[in-house]
Structure 1
Amino acid sequence: MSKRQNSKYKLDRRMGENIWGRPKSPVNKREYGPGQHGQRRKGKMSDFGIQLRAKQKLKGYYGDVTEKQFQKYYTQAARMKGDTSQNLIGILERRLDMIVYRAKWAPTIFAARQLVNHGHIRVNGDKCNIPSRLVKPGDTLALRAKAKEMALVLEAQGLAEREIPEYVQVNEDGTANYMRVPTLDEVPYPVRMEPNLVVEFYSR
């Protein structure tokens, strides 16, 4: 399991962007970086620095995926037919914790990962506690009956800042279906993501 080592909002401040689109993000009030040197002027960033920043932002958005796992996703995307950057986004959006987040069953990606870890999610009727499991188009997800009444889930369903994307369908019976692999344009990122720079970073 990937364990978050730092405060999640430090990433927002380091990037200078509210990458999850959350109203509580401190970057809404302080756009400079964290720490005593956060307000100093930054020089021009090198190409490597720009690529690294794009990788850190994308990796952080998906719940601070480990470097080993993120590199594995890149390798998998590079072997697939088509555009590697689109393939990478498609793989990341297939993660079980991300589908739970997209279905608005959790207020944050970190909470979605916790829901999966604690065994509250069923995939095609079977219990699954692996957040990194790649869901296939057509798979059906369901919350345990007990989980439907959790404050965390009820909070997520009432969030106004997020909408359920077209490639995830939430049904009247409370289940959700992963319909298809999305393109980059379909993924509802609150900020601009640049997976092409991530590809450049790894293909150096």
Structure 2
Amino acid sequence: MARSYDLTDEKQTKEYLRDVEIEYQFQCLDQKEADGCHRLAEFRENVKKNITAAAPLYKENCDSNKYPKSCYKYGQCLITGKGIPDNKPDLISALQYYEKACDYGLGSGCFNAAQLRLSGTGDNQSNSEKAMSLLDKACELNDGEACFKLSTFYLMGQRVEKDLSKAFQLAKKGCELGSVYSCSNLGLMYRHGNGTEKNAKLANEAKQRAMKLYEETRKKQPTVKVNE
């Protein structure tokens, strides 16, 4: 039978966290489970506040187990310099790890890689083309912010040929995925008939969804997540 803990008691809370760490260590070091290694790294980073111990584990779990979330997290370490030798940001290496996360199917990895390429990190001759490809894949992998970014490019005719119909479809998908700005743009496109027929009812629905999403985001409190 699993032990129950009274997390209002300081001593039992410490025992609970100790047992959680032991469980993650067992999953990672004994069972060689990629998910367990990622959980252990997040525990070290978020609960023990030891990014120096977490970063190498993210890297190893990405390189050896091809675990996309660990690739993404190590990319975060590289871009901030936290947990990295000399604490120096390394944008080129961050790009590589975000792209690994993307290759392994994580939309946020594709999006961050695209953002870096759009900022000029990487091979300058092919940055724009690669960035658009990464954004397209991120949107396909249901990253709402990538759908919004792409929608804006097609709406404005920046980096791609202007295509209002495609801009509308991307804004619609981004809104469905919970992107506040996608919903806002979608409402305006319905209102003015850009890429779709005018529809005041749907314009208002999109606007209301944008407002609701904004309020939900604003009210969210930071939480520590150790098992994602």
Q: TM-score, normalised by structure 2?
A: 0.24
- Greater radius of gyration (CA): 2
TM-score where L is the length of structure 1: 0.25
Instruction: Compare relative contact order (CA 8 Å, sep 6+) and give the higher one, 1 or 2.
Output: 1
Q: Which has the higher helix share?
A: 2
